[in-house]
Chain A
Amino acid sequence: MVKVGIINTFTSNIQSVINAITVMGFKNFETLNSYDDYNSSFSHIIFPGVGTFESNMKIIIDRKIDRIINEAFDNDLYYLGICIGMQVLATNGKENGNHKGLNIIKGSVQKLSVSNYRLPHIAWNEVDITKNDKLLKEINNKESFYFVHSYFFNANYDKNIVGITNYNNSFASIIKRNNFYGVQFHPEKSQVQGLRIIKNFLDLK
């Protein structure tokens, strides 16, 4: 039985994620404001992202959300981190200084190097699929998704990279370790192909 826990940091566009999972037919979800809301009944965790690395890590520690994520990893739950929800999985983040991340997927969150491109990177941009994965079932290569970010996940190991995107430089736009996924774009706001990714994620079992 699929039961989705949606982490609410009060800085994210959580309603958009709720709208997306609802329209895909998943009604069994709860929001998780802190570790107190967490229990063993969940099968999937979604961490929607808006906000900065620093402010999100502070909220994560203050509300013991790190315990939720670590327990989810240890228990092989399915996790989808969107934007900042992907970035906090890194070893560290270099937005406004150097900050420790959850260190679940080795890597560092760094500012995009854009030369004379505009920053933030706010655009529909293509994802090159570098590895076949159940998350990308019925998703064509080079389909466009909505990006809105200035920092990217610089993964230490290629084995964690499932998709890449180019904005002056290439960066990892989909990452994975075991049942944990991170996407830099916003599937909840990427029309049909984004909703398909949400559905694929919630279909994982």
Chain B
Amino acid sequence: MKIRLIPVLFFKDGNLVRSENFDLHQILGDPFTQVDRYNSWNVDEIIYLDISKSKNYEIKNKINFKTKSFFDVMQRASAKCFSPMVFGGGIKNLTDAQSYFQNGADKICINTIALENLEIISELANNFGNQSIVVSVDVKLVNNNYKVYNAKNEKIYDYDLLNFIKLIEKKGAGEIFLNSVDRDGNGCGYDIDLITKVSKSINIPLIPCGGAGQFKDFKDLLNSTELTAVAAGNLFNFTERSYEKAKFYLKNEGFNFR
């Protein structure tokens, strides 16, 4: 079984940004160049998320690409990308989801709407198949307990994390994209304890993210828990050919990657 190595891109107000603790956002570049690079690196998959707080942003980027619509961004970002693309950020209903698929998404990622109404997962899964619905869960440590976090309104939910994730699976999610808020952008390694617990509690694929700072972090994670996918953001953004190097390293370590 081949493991997927998935780069994550964050789009904010017209540019791709680096994220740290879901808070600090430093501009990396225009919305497309990095996608082109990942496509040429033959990546397994790309997760591309719009994290703009307001959808009425004024786009400012060096390439003078102007639009008010994330759909235009998706169209252009996906036009020459022949690795699977997951898009997300602000999907509210079936109509939004349909527009995502009509504009270049192969799978969609939902977050806030699922936190507010779990039934939307079933609705989306019934229409588009559960295999195309990724549910993103952001987790924050509060008094040493893992809590579900809503990045949009900075709300912390009092759910039991594992039960909540099992419920998401039961409602028809195809995959869980698990983010560790405290590790985001820190490069201090994955939260192996959290990821192991979640991984063992579900039968759908898990895509863990947050904390990868060096290739060894992938190895440490994959040695601790059986996973079919692993994701990282910043690590792939700052080093030339880092994706290829990461794959080479992991294959050398005996892991099954493409």
Contact = CB atoms under 8 A, between A and B. Distances in A.
B106 A16 contact: yes
Contact of B101 (A12, A84, A144, A149): A12
B98 interface: yes
Contacts of B203: 118-119
Contacts of B126: 52, 55
Contacts of A167: 1
Interface string A3-39: 0000000111111100110010000000000000000
A124 B131 contact: no
Contact of A119 (B80, B101, B204): B204
B205 interface: yes
Contacts of A119: 203-204
B130 A123 contact: no
B79 interface: yes
Contact of B1 (A10, A117, A146, A148): A117
A14 B131 contact: no
A81 B104 CA distance: 19
B204 A14 contact: no
Contact of B104 (A16, A50, A125): A16
Contacts of B101: 10-15, 50
B258 interface: yes
If over half of B's interface residues share one DSSP class (helix, strand or loop), that class is named, otherwise mixed; here it is loop
Nearest to B125: A52
Contact of A150 (B84, B104, B128, B131): B131
Contacts of B102: 10, 14-15
Nearest to A122: B205
If over half of A's interface residues share one DSSP class (helix, strand or loop), that class is named, otherwise mixed; here it is mixed
B131 A23 contact: no
Interface in B139-154: none
Interface string B112-131: 00000000000000111111
A186 B105 CA distance: 13
B164 interface: no
A194 B83 CA distance: 10
Nearest to B1: A123
Interface residues of A, number: 37
Interface string A169-200: 00000000000000000101111101100000
A195 B128 contact: no
A146 B81 CA distance: 14
A52 B129 contact: yes
Scoring A15, A23, A146, A195 by chain B CB atoms within 10 A of each residue's CB, the highest score goes to: A15
Interface in A130-149: 144, 146, 148-149
B228 interface: yes
Contacts of B82: 19-20, 23, 188-192, 194-195
Contact of A19 (B104, B131, B205): B104
B75 interface: yes
B175 A10 contact: no
Contacts of A118: 203-205, 228
Contacts of B89: none
Scoring B78, B101, B229, B258 by chain A CB atoms within 10 A of each residue's CB, the highest score goes to: B101
Question: 7 nearest interchain CB pairs?
Answer: A120-B131, A189-B84, A15-B104, A124-B258, A13-B106, A148-B131, A51-B129
30 contacts: A11-B98, A11-B128, A12-B101, A13-B101, A13-B132, A14-B101, A14-B102, A15-B104, A16-B78, A50-B106, A50-B129, A50-B132, A84-B129, A120-B204, A122-B131, A122-B175, A123-B4, A124-B2, A125-B2, A144-B2, A146-B84, A148-B106, A148-B107, A148-B132, A150-B129, A186-B84, A186-B106, A189-B82, A191-B42, A192-B42
Interface of A: 10-16, 19-20, 23, 50-52, 55, 84, 117-120, 122-125, 144, 146, 148-150, 167, 186, 188-192, 194-195
Interface of B: 1-2, 4, 42, 44-45, 75, 78-85, 98, 101-107, 126-132, 174-175, 203-205, 228-229, 258
Given A10-B102, A188-B82, 9 more contacts: A15-B78, A15-B101, A19-B104, A117-B1, A120-B174, A123-B4, A144-B258, A167-B1, A192-B42
